[in-house]
Amino acid sequence: MGMMQEFKEFAMKGNVVDLAVGVIIGAAFGKIVTSLVNDVLMPPIGMLMGGVDFKNLHVVLKGDYAGDLAAATAAGAPVIRYGAFLQSVMDFLIVAFCIFIMVKQVNRFAGPPKK
């Protein structure tokens, strides 16, 4: 059996195709969650915290840019963008919670393990 034939058989196995579909759906779900966090959840949370824009929360390590993230980044100053990090943490928590719920439901429908 040639290498191309082996590769074709490997690539067409059900698990590989299922994995590919899962990765594509996961990427699309990730974009939806990112939009949910950035565009729906964080603005009201920022408003409740006194008008904080999480995208612009940062610390400039070198230089005097007085709270202007765009100017500091354009000048090449080292910047810790902890607001973007907080949004990424929110993304992760939402995705992890959704996966937890999904796995819990799959396990519930699967029933007890067979002995």
Residue 96 lies in a domain: yes
| E strand segments, the chain | 59-60, 79-80
Rounded to the nearest 10 degrees, what angle do helices 82-110 and 14-35 cross at?
130
CATH number where 72 lies: 1.10.1200.120
Residue 86 lies in a domain: yes
> Chain-wide mean pLDDT for the chain?
85
Count of the separate structural domains present in the chain: 1
Whole-prediction pTM: 0.66
Residue 115 lies in a domain: no
Residue 83 lies in a domain: yes
Question: Given this model, what pLDDT does residue 82 score?
Answer: 92
pLDDT > 70? residue 21: yes
Question: Given this model, what pLDDT does residue 1 score?
Answer: 66
Residue 35 lies in a domain: yes
Residue 22 lies in a domain: yes
- State the Cα–Cα distance between residues 56 and 35, nearest whole angstrom: 17
Residue 63 lies in a domain: yes
Residue 18 lies in a domain: yes
